[in-house]
Structure 1
Amino acid sequence: MDPFEGEAAVPIEYEPRSVKDVLVEMKDTAELLIDLSYSAVLHRNENLAREVLRLEERMDVLELQARMSLMLAVRNPDDAEQLAPVLGIVAAAGDISDAAGDIAKIVLEEVGLPEAMRAALPEATETLVRGVVASDSEYAGRTLVDIDLESVTGIRVIALRRGDEWLLNPGPETQIERDDVALLRGPEPAVDGVYETLTGEPYESPVIDAADIEDLERAVDTIVHMKNLSELAVDLAYSSVLFDSEGLAEEVRNLEVEVDAMESRFEAWTLRAAADADDPVVLRGLIQLGSSTEVISDAAVDISEGVLRDLEVHPVVQMAVEESDEIITRVVVEPGSRLDGATVVGGVPDTESTMSIIAIRRPEEGWLLVGDTDTELEAGDVLISKGTRTAAEAFDDLSQEHERTP
């Protein structure tokens, strides 16, 4: 049964809100939806799954508002040509939202999911938890900068829900109020204390069971990798549009091809595992998870479609990125350059660059998500990195600049 079945649909009327503001909120909402839905599945957390469906409802409202604003913005054929890709971005965000909702329903409708999914949680991974702020919490009534939670504990408040209002990416001056629903992300060892201080209740860590079927273990590892690649694809897709980068758009397409190939292997391993499972029905959720993940990577390509087709980016999209100094870039490591042979630890290369590498595409090996992995860069590596505009320019120089010989 749908947890919101029987609730009346919220009436939606046109609001004089800028397309730029709606696009920024849709981007933030889509990224949070992906994060929440997979966390709900990996942790078997019904409360997180319900937040996904609430956020999906919010996305439906944003999608309609965006369509209304775009229709009013078209005055001539040139406007239509420039705004058509924006309409594609809006539709793709809706597809991501629907896929995230389907993932959440795996938990809420008990579709069936093997216990091995819990074993897919790496020991060092960050945890995402949901907690309701207790009325007597020492955090209630204080700003994030006053609490200084991230500096002290490593835990970040990634979103707050206050009734039906969502506060995405809360800033230093955002104040936490009692009864707020807080979404926290950070290292699990630190979660216990923060969660109890926030809610007044102890945090119960999920129990992890090992997979006892080899093909099932492969399937679970594959779906987690597909999830990570799809998340990266969505991030790159928005960045390709916001920065009008054909290079990033091409990497989105490369990621989608990789996810498609992985889904084929994933389905084969899942079917093989069904032959050895005591109850093959519990694998239904795994199949649905694979299908939804593939939808998300397809939506990422749809977001970047306008860039791939060399359509001019509408000024409203460019305005949306001017609010942030952080950008994502793509560079290729040239042979003999200062990045060739550089060691990357936790995403940071041992150079004077302040750019953080989030992924590497090695032509002969495929994608490597850097994160917690240490690796050595090689000539020909395609680096996807995040940082400031100034750092990005210097990093591009490093990828081409050769070491000086004495």
Structure 2
Amino acid sequence: MANREIIIVGGGMVGALSALLLAKHGDTLHLIEKSPVLMPEQGEPFDLRVSAFSAQSKHLLEQAGVWDDIPLDRLCAYQGLETWEKGSQKLAFSSDDIGAEQLGYIAENRWIQTVLWQRLKQLANVHFYEQTEVVNITQHVDTENKNQHVDAENKNSQRIVTVTLADQQTIRADLLLACDGGNSGVRKHLQLPVTSWDYRQHCLLINITTDCAQQSVTWQEFRETGPCAFLPLAGNNASLVWYHSPQKIKLLQSLNNQQLKQTILAEFPKLEFDFEVHNKGGFPLTRRHAKKYYQGSVVLVGDAAHTINPLAGQGVNLGFKDVQCLVELLTQCSDLSIPEILKRYQCQRRPANLLMQTGMDVFYKVSKSDDPLIRIIRKSFLGVAQQSGQIKNRVMRYAMGIN
């Protein structure tokens, strides 16, 4: 089917990328975003919300035509990744080992959203509904399509989706993409079941400026209280990530910047430079996975379908893989009904996302265990993995999304 009418609820990175890729294929998009989309300016302080983008995610942004729109002074390429437990050998990944220029890029979420929205605003086939939200969703079998056999009992019958907005506007479309995040209102409205649990741990993000040039290695140290991580940002900026109990994170958040710096110096892994704290913010860690990714002609994409422990920085990359899979199915299998396309999308993406979630859960639980035997095995594993050669390189390529 050419020139579909498609509703996208949620204009974040996943929703905006989906809209732009589908609009480029000639579909008509209706993009609904309840929060104000604030366009940042160059020179503003770095935002706390940053993501590590794999080579595959970069390729998708290039395909959308926006990668070169990201200001260079807000983009940090990193060539190395190191992880260790105190007293163990470091497991180090390097782009040189696989003949790549870098392992990935770290950038602020808001800048990725900004360049996507700037391109979307230039397109005549994209309609915007800003600072409003969906209050009702209905679906019915399309009885106006003369070329389609209509059977109300046939799950593959073409359905029309109608949404009602808070201002009582109504929009009709062939398909609705729910890209409205981990607390998806669309998912709740459709009563799609999820498995969910709280990790009983919070995470503190801390933005700092350093007294040295831009770093090129990101690292994590694992502790029984949770990992601590360093993410390089453009220039002499960086982000520290501190996992701990909710009580500890609450205490850290109550400190002023100078007090927090002194606590970092005393309790965080050693930093090889001087620094100043500029901003901080905490959030709880929750794991969710929808048991079904679609209902009729409504489909969950990105965090609306799954949230993952941010341990390995794969959240946005999994969401972008969802986008790539769904867009390819919609553009290459246009002879199929929407429900059949969404069924194929679910069959491809749900097992892959579950595998990544499960892997991160196991890694997270093992990293926090204080059992002496597990600690010995854990330290031994890092040493063996460091010497694994091609196996380590294949893991690195998989994480980057390249063959």
Same fold, TM exceeding 0.5?
no
More strand by share: 2
RCO comparison, higher one (Cα < 8 Å, 6+): 2
TM-score, length of structure 2 as denominator length: 0.27
More helix by share: 1
